Amino acid sequence: MAVSVKFGAYDFGTTAEKYAIRQRPRVKQVIIPRRDGVRSDIALLGPLEVTLSGKIFKSSNTLLRTEFDALKAALFKTRDKLTLFDDRFIDCQLTNYGDDFVTGSGMLAAKYDLAFIGELPFLQSVALNANNQTVSVSPTQWTVTPGGNLRTRPTIRITNNSGADIVNNLKIENLTLSKALVFTGTLKNTNTLIIDMQARSIQNAGVEDLTNWQGEFWELAVGVNSLKYTGGVTVAVVTEWRDRYV
């Protein structure tokens, strides 16, 4: 792990001076008449709010302006990955921008003040973790072990290598959390089923197939998770995830 302040390909280097992350949990409160206190639901994580400020020094006005042109070209896009350390990122976009020259610098130095918002309320590992299983016996169990300090949602790819179509016969479970998702459609031989637990989507051979399933899109807990496949064999099962941090 090393300090690495970047937004997409733009590297702030040693110019960054202050980096702050704020998060406000989403809590709905209801006042109950003629009673003290309030009733509130279970808090959910709100968006991450990030502020970043620093100074850029250059040997000429032209070089300083060119550097700020490059900075703004990187910032003013829809969204990108913001990092403070090289092993974690926030998927976010710019919400506020400001710059001004440093007094007494002869216009050779300028400050920047930036604000970002992360729609997903957590940092993610840069490393994409993966577990690969060749399942030739049904049912089959195995384990995966996410790190971080927050549950994560995996993407699961199931490729049919059985030599025949798998019809209404495919179930993937997280036994640790007692959650299951059942695919009730047809997975043709050599095709791949992609289950994105974060996006709540299922693609069958690259085509959305959200009508042929039962159960729920589940998470992975921090630590050891026991997964189970039940259905037609032989299949290749790939589980991918990023560790999450609050």
Q: What is the mean pLDDT of the chain?
A: 94
Task: Convert the pLDDT of each residue in 92-116 to its tens digit.
Answer: 999 999 999 999 999 999 999 999 9
Q: Which domains does the chain have, with CATH numbers?
A: 3-122 (2.40.30.200), 127-245 (2.60.120.860)
Instruction: Dump pLDDT digits (tens) for 1-48.
Output: 899 999 999 999 999 999 999 988 888 888 888 888 888 877 788 899
Q: What torsion, rounded to 10 degrees, do the Cα atoms 118, 120, 124, 129 define?
A: -140
| Terminal-residue alpha carbon distance, the chain | 17
Q: Letter for the amino acid at 87?
A: D
Q: What residues pair up with 160 in beta bridges, in sequence order? A: 235
Question: Per the confidence metrics, is the pTM higher than 0.85?
Answer: yes
* Backbone dihedral angles phi then psi of residue 69, each to the nearest 5 degrees: -60, -40
pLDDT band (50, 70, 90) for residue 130: very high
Tokens 């920047």 correspond to 112
State mean pLDDT over 158-167.
96
Three-state DSSP string of the chain? CCEEEEECCEECHHHEEEEEEEECCECCEEECCCCCCEEECCCECCCEEEEEEEEEECCCHHHHHHHHHHHHHHHCCCCEEEEEECCEEEEEEEEEEEEEECCCCCCCEEEEEEEEEECCCCEEECCCEEEEEEECCCCEEEEECCCECECECCEEEEEECCCCCEECCEEEEECCCCEEEEECCEECCCCEEEEECCCCEEEECCEECCCCEEECCCCECCCCEEEEEEECCCEEEEEEECCEEC
Backbone angles phi, psi at 14, to 5 degrees: -90, 5
Q: Check if the beta carbon of residue 79 is closer than 8 Å to that of residue 93.
A: yes
- The rounded distance, in Å, linking the Cα atoms of 1 and 69 is 30
Q: Tell me the C-alpha to C-alpha distance, in Å, between residue 67 and each of 56, 120, 133.
A: 8, 30, 48
CA distance 178 to 121: 25
Tens digits of per-residue pLDDT, 213-231? Answer: 999 999 999 999 999 999 9
